[in-house]
Amino acid sequence: MLAVIGIAAIPGVSSALEPAGAASLHVSVKPASGSPSSHFVVTFRAAGNTGIIGGTGVSYRVTASDTAHPGCQASVATVAPPTQAGAAVRVKLSPNAHSRWCVGTFHGQVWKTVFPRCPTGKACPALVFPPLMVGKFSFRVTRS
């Protein structure tokens, strides 16, 4: 019975931390098209503060992927630095040091994640909040 109560409480806590309008951030990426070695910069305005807020951590995670092919990088994920509500957030997506992007169209998402902050050496609540997708973008990689 306790597990059901805990799970039922998650949406209420998650939505309480979610500012109005956060589910539809305008996300841009530059360049819109590049080569297998290009760096792509994803930009959006933070809907709310991120970082450690009370006993909770809040962050934006940026992901992008395409169909995998042998010998190239088909996905990327990174966490944006802490920021203030309304500030521009810029995240650079680059292929790994010894790799190149796969040719194709990458589809990306910006996810807002909320997680409990656990003090070192202390027990941490077993609550896990599902990430919330707050924006989408895409970029194209062409043969150079």
d(CA 63, CA 27) in angstroms, rounded, equals 12
Backbone angles phi, psi at 112, to 5 degrees: -95, 125
- The per-residue pLDDT for 53 is 87
pLDDT in tens, 37-49: 999 999 999 999 9
pLDDT band at 91 (very low <50, low <70, confident <90, very high): very high
Contacts of 4 (CB under 8 A, 6+ apart): none
Residue 14 has pLDDT above 60, yes or no: no
